[in-house]
Amino acid sequence: MSARILSGKEFALQIKEEVRRDAGALLEKTGVVPGLTVVLVGEDAASQVYVNNKHKACLELGIRSDIVRLPETASKEELLTVIAGLNQDRAVHGILVQLPLPKALRTVEQEVLLAIDPAKDVDGFHPLNAGRLAVGDEHLVPCTPAGCVKMLEMAGLEIKGKHAVVIGRSNIVGKPMAQLLLARDATVTICHSRTKDLAAMARQADILVAAVGKAHFVTADMVKEGAVVIDVGINRLPNGKLAGDVDFEQVQHVAGAITPVPGGVGLLTIAMLLANTVKAAQLAVR
């Protein structure tokens, strides 16, 4: 058996076309250009790449994009002052503080996220937006899990009534992913680092989501024949190549559908960020 490969590129293009259309309609109706500002603290190489990709994608789709760069040595107060200014700026509809923050600021990460106006929290990490998701009100939803669910829906893969197993319970991927699947009537199991006999749990999944951060963690013996496998992991191998949390080479022969890494759900994350920015702008001008 060979799995259907779910190409992130194809689905991201579709989402981006919707975003372009919605941004254009908003401009025509209200004269407002949706605006995203990314705050980047320090010189982390991967973060620079992510931020530049977001900037390019915004410009392609008619979204105004700004990057505020702060030095590695920036204090909490400096960062909070920048966020307070962006909260007040009516031309800014989305604010994103690129994570991870430099080591010195990591202990105040939650305080920083709390300072962002929830109406501009296009990452969906503010506790207010996390709470709204938990009560079934999908307002500004974290981009990666939102992209995974959107991809399942666009691919015509049924969620309702399926057993979904999510490996990982982080606030940015695992938990919101589980909530989105639950809201679509899946029966959801969340597994994590303390789960006993994880392989047996994973084998029960009709939809298996891996968000662990360990290369090739999910092996073929952990996957039920025909299951849909969503690989969220992005791991750098010693040879410099990127790998997911799923052993793609082996698992593709067991799964019914599978996302590759690279070229899978990572591409959807940016597309959903742009969609959230336009949504925040639409809500701001209502």
Q: Which two tokens stand for residue 241?
A: 């190549």
Which residues, at least 6 apart from 278, have a Cβ–Cβ distance to it below 8 Å? 19, 22, 23, 26, 34, 63
Shortest Cβ 153–ligand NAD spacing (Å):
18
Shortest Cβ 213–ligand NAD spacing (Å):
3
Active-site residue (options: 16, 22, 98, 247): 98
- Catalytic site residue 54? yes
Q: Which is nearer to ligand NAD, 124 or 168 (CB)?
A: 168
Q: Which is nearer to ligand NAD, 15 or 232 (CB)?
A: 232
Active-site residue (options: 22, 120, 121, 123): 123
Q: Which is nearer to ligand NAD, 34 or 266 (CB)?
A: 266
Q: Which is nearer to ligand NAD, 87 or 195 (CB)?
A: 195
- Start-to-end Cα distance in the chain: 50
Shortest Cβ 32–ligand NAD spacing (Å):
28
> What is the DSSP code (8-state) at residue 246?
B
- Let me know: does 285 contact 26? Beta carbons within 8 Å: yes
Shortest Cβ 165–ligand NAD spacing (Å):
11
Query: Reading across the β-sheet that carries 257-258, which strands appear in turn?
Result: 4-5, 257-258, 228-231, 207-210, 163-167, 187-191
Residue nearest to ligand NAD (CB): 170
Please name the residue that has the structure tokens 């689905």.
11
Alpha helices in the chain, H assignment, sequence order:
8-30, 45-60, 76-88, 109-115, 127-134, 143-154, 174-183, 198-203, 248-251, 265-284
Which residues, at least 6 apart from 228, have a Cβ–Cβ distance to it below 8 Å? 152, 157, 206, 207, 208, 255, 256, 257, 258
- Catalytic site residue 279? no
Q: Which is nearer to ligand NAD, 167 or 284 (CB)?
A: 167
Q: Which is nearer to ligand NAD, 173 or 275 (CB)?
A: 173
Shortest Cβ 284–ligand NAD spacing (Å):
26
The residues binding ligand NAD (CB under 6 A) are 144, 167-170, 172-174, 191-193, 195, 198, 211-213, 232-235, 265-266, 269
> What is the DSSP code (8-state) at residue 34?
P
- Let me know: does 283 contact 119? Beta carbons within 8 Å: yes
CA dist list (Å): 140 to 36, 55, 81, 178, 243: 14, 20, 23, 16, 29
- Let me know: does 110 contact 141? Beta carbons within 8 Å: no
**Residues annotated catalytic, as ranges:** 54, 98, 123
